[in-house]
Amino acid sequence: MIRRVGYHVAMSVVSFLWVAPILWVIVISFRSFDDVAANGLGSLPHSFTFSTYKSAWEDADEFRALINSLLVTIPAVLLSLGLASIAAYGLARYNLPFRRTILLLMLMGNLLPPQILLIPISRFVELIGYYDTLIALIAVHVGFGLGFYTFVLHGFMRDLPREIQEAATIDGAGPGKIYSAVILPLTRPALAALGALSFTWIFNDLLWSITVIRSGEKMPVTPALLGLQGLFVSSWNVIAAGTVIAAVPTVAVFLRFQKHFVGGLAIGAVK
Amino acid sequence: MTGLAADRRTFLKGLGVLGAATLVPGCATSTKSPGSGSAPTGQVSLQSNLSSEQAKAAMEKLVATYNKTGGSQVKLNTVAAEIFRTQLPTYLTSSNPPDVYTWYAGSVADSYAKKDLLLDVSSVWDSMGNYSKAMQTLSTSSAGQKIFVPTSYYWWGMFYRKSNFAKWGVTPPKTWAEFVAVCKTIQSKGIPPIGIGLGDTPWVASAWFDYLNIRINGAPFHRQLLAGQGDFTDPKVKAVFTKWREVLPYFDPKGKSFPFQEATSALLAGKTGMFLIGTFFADSAPKDALDDIDFFQFPIIDPAVPVAEEAPTDGYFASKKAADPDGVKKFLTWLATPEAQNIYVQSSSGTAIPANPDGKSADTALVKKGKAMIEGAAELTQFFNRDSSDALQPTADAALTKFLDKPDQIDQILKTWQTAAQKVFKA
């Protein structure tokens, strides 16, 4: 009994530590600028205002930034998962020559630190005339996600029973039909988990958006938040409010796919 | 599926080759020579790093006013200051760069001119005869071309709250001895006399180095040192730190943990006595505290050294590849006028001073005092990074932060600094 109580007390403290920074951001987002300036960021709130949310929404044009973010994130997630599942299907279900090498090569691309590729990518995108477009950003995200998603889906598809595919073959289904009617529905848990993960990754990306996009009005929400910071002085309360708004889509996706998250992280980890 | 991996592999390889190809010859390969090839588009793009609410609004107003005058239309594009800083080299070297950029005068602009990326704006300067000599020097590249159009500047000073100084019974010091005496008095009241904020903003410490150096060794020595013509192990540099050590016990010990914006709050709340900072800090002060803020000039140490002050100058430069150089120059000429600068100064935070001597600065006692101090200075410097380069700044941050922690190791610190600086200068 005492051990149980002790466990819960200790875990409550740990989870509070975990949540505290988020709570802190939320508290700051409701404070006025003069309050923050006079009492410092760390002090208890002396004011309460909603105007921070209004200025984040209007002055920072967060609505447009959120739309941009979704315009990039949703196609990028669908496209990369679609392509990755086709690749994983071929690699996992057929005895293609060099399939291990192919898989390792794809994964190797993911091991490269993205920073090395910043300049080549920005030059390449410029060369093919897609610099400063959302299409370029989608392409970059698809390219970078593909290796890892294929690897994870490959691990999942490999473990599906052989007999199902054989039964489908006997019933006269070709590779395309087997993929769409048999394998893909069975891969749904993995796709849901990866979908949620990749949504978060792509939505939260900052590096690639500032590399391939130059116009303020095309920037997704993360660089737009950065834009709330001034050259020297930043209105932390407005930034906090903007951050809270920007977190809504990812939190919504997380809540919707919550149960897949833990399962998804373990996919491919266990043989 | 074999194709995919092969594609990816060749794709990566191709990227590498492309990257190398575009990097090595710089911009030369894909450049259209200025003015030729494309006809004037009538549109000028302005890339701005002034992303804070007030400054952005001021820029929008400025551009809207210009567009009403007719001629070329300017399209303002504001990106976050941090993104702008890191992406500026990419913007300038891209094949279709923005035309006009907000940036800083002096060697930071000159470093791009040396790479032949900036438009020669000498013709714009024909209409800027009334600008001070210092402004002209700052806007001239090492090749002797005018490459920059300054529009405003601000100043640094030792800021304090008038009411607190009155409460503690101290008056603004003029000399170093008086300054140390003021520190002693404030400390005796249990308040850390000198505020500083180095967490996240370690560059704030460079203001102390700059000021001590220009007070002890003079501005010419300071400039040479930052340009790589001096040596940080020079005994004259060590003298700067010996002087600094005299007041080190008066620094706020908490200052290492928070950024300067928090240090501003500490000053305003009376938790520190004085704060060596640029006027931009006023943006982070509550409106009701502003009337109570005053500053004094960094104390004079050696009366024989001509008085120099830090006056960081902001303005614009343009890309050499601008599609419509005449439109760009017309816009820059307009930006140099007192009318344009008044619009900006009035709509922004109000502590900036127009670069055009005929421009009207904000009509507050604080700004008048600052302007008088700058105009009375025999020499002007800007700030550590602006007088050297953004690459040298981190070496200063490392050395100065270390010095504040372990002032005994000064010889070792200066040696390390010199080694680090040499690497930057050779690069």
Q: pLDDT digit string (tens) for B172-215?
A: 999 999 999 999 999 999 999 999 999 888 999 999 999 999 99
Q: Is B319 on the interface with A (CB under 8 A)?
A: no
Which positions of chain B have pLDDT values less than 70? 1-41
Q: Is B91 on the interface with A (CB under 8 A)?
A: yes
What's the CA gap between B253 and A96, in Å, rounded? 66
**Furthest-apart CA pair in chain A: how many Å?**
76
| Full DSSP string of B46-105 | EEE---SHHHHHHHHHHHHHHHHT-SSEEEEEE--HHHHHHHHHHHHHSSS--SEEEEE-
What's the CA gap between B110 and B93, in Å, rounded? 15
Q: Residue B66: which region, alpha, beta or left (left: phi > 0; alpha: psi -120 to 50)?
A: alpha
- Selection from B253, B284, B257, B249 nearest residue B202 by Cα: B257
B101 beta partners: B47, B317
Q: Is B24 on the interface with A (CB under 8 A)?
A: no
Per-block mean pLDDT, blocks of 10 residues, chain A (271 long)? 88 93 93 85 86 85 91 96 95 91 87 84 89 93 92 90 90 92 90 90 92 89 86 85 92 84 58 42
Q: Is A59 on the interface with B (CB under 8 A)?
A: yes
Tell if the CB–CB gap between B79 and A227 is shorter than 8 Å: yes
Reported pTM: 0.80
Q: Tell me if A24 is assigned to some domain.
A: no
Q: Is A210 on the interface with B (CB under 8 A)?
A: yes
Q: Specify the pLDDT at position B9.
A: 42
- Selection from B318, B325, B308 nearest residue B378 by Cα: B308
Lookup: tokens for B325: 């150089």
Strands B73-78 and B43-48 turn out to be parallel
Q: Specify the pLDDT at position B74.
A: 93
Q: Tell me if A194 is assigned to some domain.
A: yes
- Is residue B151 classed as helix, strand or coil in its secondary structure? strand
What's the CA gap between B347 and B53, in Å, rounded? 11
Range of the domain at A142: 62-266
Domains identified in chain A, total number:
1
Q: Phi and psi at residue B203, in whole multiples of 5°?
A: -65, -15
Q: Tell me if A210 is assigned to some domain.
A: yes
Domain layout of chain B by residue ranges: 31-153+313-359, 156-310+382-426
Q: Tell me if A197 is assigned to some domain.
A: yes
Q: Tell me if A36 is assigned to some domain.
A: no
What's the CA gap between B59 and A155, in Å, rounded? 54
Provide the chain A residues 148-207 that lie in CB contact (below 8 A) with chain B.
none
- Selection from B159, B155, B207 nearest residue B400 by Cα: B207
Which residues on chain B are in Cβ contact (under 8 Å) with A154?
A: none
Helix (H) or strand (E) holding A47: none
Mutation to test the A interface, candidates B2, B108, B319, most A Cβ within 10 Å: B2
- The tokens 């107003």 sit on which residue? B61
- Selection from A183, A229, A185 nearest residue A206 by Cα: A229
What's the CA gap between B226 and B206, in Å, rounded? 12
What's the CA gap between B279 and B352, in Å, rounded? 8
B315 beta partners: B103, B150
Q: Tell me if A118 is assigned to some domain.
A: yes
Residues with Cβ within 8 Å of residue B137, at least 6 apart in sequence: none
DSSP type of residue B2: H
User: For B19, which of A101, A123, A238 is closest by C-beta distance?
Assistant: A123
Q: Is B280 on the interface with A (CB under 8 A)?
A: yes
CATH superfamily of B156-310+382-426: Periplasmic binding protein-like II (3.40.190.10)
Q: Does domain B31-153+313-359 sit in CATH 2.60.120.560?
A: no
**B31-153+313-359 and B156-310+382-426 have identical folds:** yes
Q: Tell me if A172 is assigned to some domain.
A: yes
Lookup: tokens for B405: 């922690």
Residue B15 Cα, gap to closest chain A Cα (Å): 6
Residues with Cβ within 8 Å of residue A56, at least 6 apart in sequence: A62, A228, A238, A239, A241, A242, A245
Lookup: tokens for B342: 């008044």
Q: Tell me if A45 is assigned to some domain.
A: no
Interface size, chain A vs chain B, as Cβ–Cβ contacts under 8 Å = 153
